[in-house]
Amino acid sequence: MSARSLRLPSLLLGLALAWHGHAAEPPSDIEAQSRALQRASAAVVGVRVLAVEDARSAATLGRTRQGSGVVIGSGDLVLTIGYLVLEAEQVQLITDDEREVPARLVGYDVATGFGLVQPLAPLRIEPAPYGSAAALARGEPLMIVSGGEDGAVSAAQLLSRRSFSGYWEYHLDGALFTAPARPDHSGAGLFNGRGELVGIGSLLLKDAAGPGAPPQSGNLFVPIDLLLPILPELRSRGSSSLSRRAWMGVSCVEAEGTIRVVRVNSDSPAEVAGLEPGDRILRIDGTAVHALEVLWKTLWAGGAPEREVTLDIVRAGQPQTLKLQSVDRMKTLKSAQGI
């Protein structure tokens, strides 16, 4: 048994009591609540990944990766965070009873950040029911569960639900921010008091409380609400249609209404065009940008994934105009033979 399983009974009872204390209605059955949380916890497995040897993502994520995933659907799929399984060659799922089950990559969705894998042998694990991230209230008690040998379960609270723009050409509407922070967040399951899955763990942040609030460490979870509309497409095609969008290969930060380049991916459209760290981006295709959200959304909405993109920049105090040929991000990713 995993360390998580040995600690579960008392922890889950405490979580059930906390949830009922927060609820507007009197508790109906604390034991039933605890059982629901127990079932939710049991649906979380460990995920161990080896990326293909020449994976582009290995430079930032490493070739070997470890995190968690949640059994969903009819028990034949595991939902995780996409960067764990990005360019995966081998995937292993680790259950609470210490079985190692091989799995195959089914899909990676650039737009949401979800990853989907399929076990190649029966997991014999009851899938987690879906909840609604949109229905969560600020301050609501939640449960975070990670899987694998060092899996753990803990209580958390919802700090906020708001949009999030990542420096790596990523934007998410309705992201869930929780505290206290969990370092083992990658692919972890976020559950409400009814034991329903409401989010998948993505990031550890220092400003989880949001703009204008005191610094507070916490986690970002991708809301489960984004999965259901795209699940059939993700399962059949490997990604959603929204993932077929322009990519420049650049990392940027936003500060005081300005956008500055901090990293340029090797052999990317941005590198070929001559973009450099330190450049300040003023406009993209004629649209002024003052926030990462504007930069990314303008890029994606500007036309076909593969097209000419115009960037007006400032370098060393001098204005310049660069033109680059964006590419479809999905076409740059490598996969194991046969996938």
Q: What is the mean pLDDT of residues 19-27?
A: 53
Q: Which of 124, 150, 135 is nearest to 43 (CA)?
A: 124
Tokens of residue 201, six digits = 């763990």
* Eight-class DSSP state of 320: E
Of residues 257 and 32, which shows the higher confidence score? Answer: 257
Q: What angle do CA 76, 77, 81 make, to 5 degrees?
A: 165
CATH hierarchy code of domain 244-332: 2.30.42.10
- CB environment 70-82: b (16+ within 10 A), e (fewer): bbbeebebbbbbb
DSSP character at residue 287:
E
pLDDT of residue 338: 45
Does residue 170 sit in helix, strand or coil?
Answer: strand
- Exposed / middle / buried, residue 35 (Cβ in 10 Å: 0-12, 13-18, 19+): middle
Q: What pLDDT score was predicted for residue 27?
A: 47
Could you give the CA distance from residue 33 to residue 18 in angstroms, rounded to a whole number? 11
Strand partners, 68: 46
234 pLDDT above the threshold of 80: yes
Q: pLDDT, tens digit, for every residue of 290-338?
A: 999 999 999 999 999 999 999 999 999 999 999 999 999 888 888 755 4
* Angstrom distance (rounded) from CA 102 to CA 91: 6
* Whole-number pLDDT of residue 211: 85
Tokens found for residue 236: 């059949």
pLDDT tens digit sequence for 128-177: 999 999 999 999 889 999 998 889 999 999 999 999 999 999 999 999 99
Name residue 103's beta-bridge partners.
Answer: 91, 119
Determine the Cα–Cα distance for residues 117 and 77; give it in Å rounded to an integer: 6
Query: Using CA atoms, how far apart are residues 120 and 91, in angstroms rounded to an integer?
Result: 10
Which helix (H) or strand (E) is 301 found in, with range? helix 292-301
β-strand partners of 67: 47
0.85 surpassed by pTM: yes
Please give the structure tokens belonging to residue 257: 């209404």
For 1-241, which CATH class? mainly beta
Average pLDDT estimate for 185-194: 95
Res 181 pLDDT > 70: yes
The domains of the chain are located at 1-241, 244-332
Residue 110, Cβ density class (10 Å: 0-12 exposed, 13-18 middle, ≥19 buried): buried
- Asked if 22 and 140 count as a contact pair (C-beta separation under 8 A), the reply is yes
